[in-house]
Structure 1
């Protein structure tokens, strides 16, 4: 798989999705669905689903037996939710909270009541992130944030990107490192790199609201620094920055041949298993002053409209009430091992998870799902960045041309998303 472009892999994935109905944990099978009247069906991706299934399966909520259906990836989960109906969809979906709002706007999500006691343990921003027209749709359960995980065999983490570039060049020349830092989750979290090089994805107004007309992925500073620090003489990547997925990034990272990855706490178990010693911190800015910006949000759950259509709305709400409670939030946090937005739970989490939360506090800008997930211009944020970075870093296309075109697409997406 190493060396295959992101675009090619995306096309292969699309072909697989077309050829098979749904991929579950690597096998083709018919999933349990909301139409199963005696079960409360929960759909989740490969990470959360695999973790939650052992602790939630078989539990009773509102008289219904819960069953977690685990999809082989977030991509297959998204495709299944997009195609779902009352006859083949879930009652509950574990997704980024922003996606609950998209579902609510299209009539595919149900509101629920978040008690005052439960809301008091969550940041106001997290609660509001899950609201649409004043009603609660998404329940925030984890902080969906990323940070730089630095392999300390290369010394202390660099204070600036300029220092990083110099140290990587030497490590590469000495045969000790094949790349500097990899996103490991694709273009979705490449805002770290864009910000470090002087760009940004979405401008903000003085009152803190997004300025959908202000896109900075192609500004002159970013393009100039990208050429100076990340590209070799042939116009392709010099290895400092890699925008790819875990399947590729992990090969060098777990072998100790990469200096850093930019990802979330979900990659810590594999990193620990490889006996890599590391520190967690924000990705460095170009000159070491200030902080980079990185999109962040909250992961959680929402009730689908199919629960109501199949007579299981009360059972679904009973489950959501449990997950919002101290007991449910604690169980979830201990199971998925991600930073919790719940103040009572977070206080007792590990130093490692607190490190991710602290990094997010310094660097995060909201991941406005209605904007970033909009594809009115032809491709949403994640696939758009996958394509742009592949064209520049892998194929050696002119970065200004590539990111100018991507900026046009992004402006169309943001404008359409702002209209709702």
Structure 2
């Protein structure tokens, strides 16, 4: 490891993070961990950077969901990567444990990135990485069942009740996963921390306000009526959709390869409006 050369992260782009400095020799290769599906993009960029600087680079595959934990274990032993891809949700943990170091912003043209991406890579006013992918969830629907996407959640519920009689599903997602379900709560006015002009107010938490309660009641309704049954997780939902047994799922772009392979004629639309006329967000 030799993270004093961590400015490679600005060449690669990412929520690519650099490790806190650990002494090393210049002869060591700079090690980069990234998702397997990103290696085809990162390897040629790393090779070009290596050619210009004379610093060898070794790009290694690493699962995005496990990277943060693995880095925290390997870093103190002087092992692991100098630069790595990680989910923005792990940044606070990595900073607090002293695992990552802030990057020098003079190496980065921040105008090339969306503000929301830079915000996600910032902690305590310091930039720790740069975004390479901004993902979200939407409604993916089966055009054979829904030629046009439903406009409201009331339509979704009505269709779901009808399809359950045929042992099919109107809409599925991992109901217990906050990443997916908070959109429903937020549509009614829930929030995690209140946003201020410069940061977030950690004393103002909106997870138990009136909107949050209303959102949770809708989620409970989906479960108690069997619209989204117990056991529906991030694997079951896309699997049922790919089998043609679900009219729609709430998921991200990562679900599309399997759906395409299954030959489903699908469309993508916003999560339908709630009964207050607001889109879940």
Q: Deviations over 1:38-95 (max 9, x none)?
A: 3221223xxxx21122444472533333333323x44432321231224222111101
1:173 to 145, 162, 165: 165
Higher relative contact order (CA 8 A, sep 6+): 1
Provide the TM-score with structure 2 as the length reference: 0.73
Matched with 1:162 is 154
Is residue 69 of structure 1 aligned with residue 60 of structure 2? yes
Q: Secondary structure at the match of 1:68?
A: strand
Take 1:209 and 1:148, find their aligned partners in 2: how far apart are those partners?
29
Matched with 1:341 is none
Matched with 1:53 is 39
The Cα RMSD (Å) is 3.3
Structure 1 residues without counterparts, runs of 5 or longer: 1-33, 294-420
Map 1:204-283 to 2 at 5 A.
Answer: 204=194, 207=197, 209-216=200-207, 219-232=212-225, 237-239=226-228, 244-246=233-235, 248-283=236-271
Does structure 2 retain, via aligned residues, the 8 Å contact 1:195–1:285? no
Structure 2 residues without counterparts, runs of 5 or longer: 1-22
Q: Secondary structure at the match of 2:257?
A: helix
Take 1:287 and 1:240, find their aligned partners in 2: how far apart are those partners?
22
Take 2:219 and 2:176, find their aligned partners in 1: how far apart are those partners?
20
Take 2:178 and 2:264, find their aligned partners in 1: how far apart are those partners?
25
Take 1:264 and 1:185, find their aligned partners in 2: how far apart are those partners?
16
Does structure 2 retain, via aligned residues, the 8 Å contact 1:199–1:217? no
What is the Cα deviation at residue 215 of structure 1? 3.5
Map 1:9-24 to 2 at 5 A.
Answer: none
Residues 262 and 68 of structure 1: is their aligned pair in 2 closer, same or farther, counting only changes over 3 Å? Answer: farther
Provide the TM-score with structure 1 as the length reference: 0.51
Q: Secondary structure at the match of 2:140?
A: strand
Take 2:265 and 2:231, find their aligned partners in 1: how far apart are those partners?
21
Take 1:172 and 1:119, find their aligned partners in 2: how far apart are those partners?
49
Single out whichever of 281-290 and 181-190 deviates more from structure 2: 181-190
Matched with 1:131 is 122
What is the Cα deviation at residue 277 of structure 1? 1.9
Does structure 2 retain, via aligned residues, the 8 Å contact 1:101–1:131? no
Residues 204 and 120 of structure 1: is their aligned pair in 2 closer, same or farther, counting only changes over 3 Å? Answer: same
Take 1:141 and 1:133, find their aligned partners in 2: how far apart are those partners?
21
Single out whichever of 119-128 and 162-171 deviates more from structure 2: 119-128
